[in-house]
Amino acid sequence: MKLRFHTLDVFTCETFAGNPLAVVMDADGLDGGTMQAIAREFKLSETVFVIKPADPAHRAGIRIFTPVQELLFAGHPTVGTALLLADLDGTASPMVLEEKIGPIRISFSGTGRERIATFEAATMPKPLGDVPPDDAIAAALGVDTQQIGYLNHRPHAANPGNHPMLYVPLASREALANSSPQMAYWQGLGELGKFLVYAYCAGSGENLFHARGFAPLDGIGEDPATGSAACGFPSSVINAEGAWRGDREIMIFQGEDMGRPSRINVTAAMEDGALVSVRIGGQAVRVSQGQLLLGS
């Protein structure tokens, strides 16, 4: 069996930046075990398998795998796959991708490498309890305990739709740059350490933030851009700053400290003190294409 694949760099318009993604086309004949094996072979944060949609009005179904598990949903695979399919189709018409979490609607703006795909999160982030103490978080990230939190920003946990995440505000850009998973202390994070730790700090403006995503137990030491974490990020801002009215535009810069700078656009809308929608936007650039030779 021969299957076409493409790779892209997502949440960037520059080759060799952003978050790499592999997309395997026409994957209906593959079972889940084979998809997982292919994802391990690519060894990227996520690999997407494009299949026929259940609803013929939708553009495609997709299944998303990390090197160790299948996900209900993920942000950079959604953006990257949508931009790839739009490029292959030669159109920028809105589309729907069927993911495990449900149908995801995507719109497009701009042209060429400047084209942006924007999707609306299928669910709002769900706050979780049992946040580890500051000293356990600091030890796991290799930073001083006094660097945990700033102003009213405090560590908290939320599930943006695919799995629990621990959001960790750090007091300085230097602390963020110096943070890294300390596996001898990682177990101190408990169940939250099994998934993603999203460390962040303030940027140069009130709506600008820098972030790093660590998932060492998911086969991902550091993720260059984490769209699903960005879906949950407005909950961090709400916890620290309270509610706002209407849309708020947030920019997250991620991947800078690993040499793969990424930019994630977040638009969070609130009504009557409640978060009602989160939209994530970003660019992507195609890098390679080829064939998988299975069973040869």
Tell me: the pLDDT tens digits for 64-78?
999 999 999 999 999
d(CA 35, CA 218) in angstroms, rounded, equals 16
d(CA 197, CA 14) in angstroms, rounded, equals 26
Please name each of the domains of the chain with its CATH number: 2-121+283-293 (3.10.310.10), 126-280 (3.10.310.10)
Q: Which of 41, 46, 241, 256 is catalytic?
A: 46
Reported confidence tier of residue 218, pLDDT bands at 50, 70, 90: confident
Average pLDDT over residues 253-280: 98
DSSP per position, 208-237: EEEEEEEEGGGTEEEES--HHHHHHHHHHH
Residue 219 has a pLDDT of 79
User: Cβ(9)–Cβ(37) under 8 Å?
Assistant: no
Is residue 241 among the annotated active site residues?
no
Contacting residues for 38 by C-beta, under 8 A, at least 6 apart: 24, 30, 47, 49, 65, 292
Average pLDDT over residues 52-61: 98
Q: Determine which of 100-109, 143-152, 157-166, 222-231 has the lowest per-residue pLDDT on average.
A: 157-166
Residue 113 has a pLDDT of 86
According to DSSP, the residues that pair with 19 across neighbouring strands are 10
The SS3 call for residue 135 is helix
Half-sphere exposure of 53 toward its Cβ, with a 13 Å CA cutoff?
A: 14
Residue 163 has a pLDDT of 87
For 253, phi then psi, to 5°, come to: -100, 120
Half-sphere exposure of 52 toward its Cβ, with a 13 Å CA cutoff?
A: 4
Reported confidence tier of residue 296, pLDDT bands at 50, 70, 90: low
Token pair for 47: 């690999």
Indicate if the pLDDT at residue 124 is higher than 70: yes
Helices and strands in the chain: count of H runs, count of E runs: 5, 18
